Structure 1
Amino acid sequence: MAVLEFWGLRRVMETTGVSKSELYRLMRAGQFPQSRPYLHSPKRRFWLSSDIQSWQMMQVNKGDIQELTQPGSDFDGLLNL
């Protein structure tokens, strides 16, 4: 069973390689997991590690699909058979 962790902004930025301003832009656009408030300290926020890891996997999968559909890719050649 995977361990669920609460990650702060710094950890999210280090893990994803995405800057603070880009994270917030992506959240506003609905393209990145939303942060959550702590129950007894609502001004402090965190992300669930599982949400971030799922987002990362989606980025990898999107990249694979985009690479495969570029002109000249092996997949592109298969389409022309």
Structure 2
Amino acid sequence: MTPRPHADLVAHLVRSTPLNEGEADRVLAEVFEWFAEPVPDFVRRRHRELAARGLTNDRIFAAITIELPERLFPAPPLSSRQLRRLVYG
């Protein structure tokens, strides 16, 4: 059996919410997918969503500029050398 990533978080959700294990797994998968969205994909998606609401590009880009710093984006893949440099300088 392959260990599940974040099994401790799933267990916490099962203990602290009415979710069962399968539901907690699905919720976490959706949350992780949401936050794994790369910046270019986020910008294009938000542009489509805001344009569909009738906003002009000036208002859309102003809104995205405000939203970007509030988002979490995944770290880029790091090599072992890059990881060592982060730890040891």
TM-score for both structures, normalised by structure 1: 0.36
TM-score for both structures, normalised by structure 2: 0.34
Greater helix share, structure number: 2
Greater strand share, structure number: 1
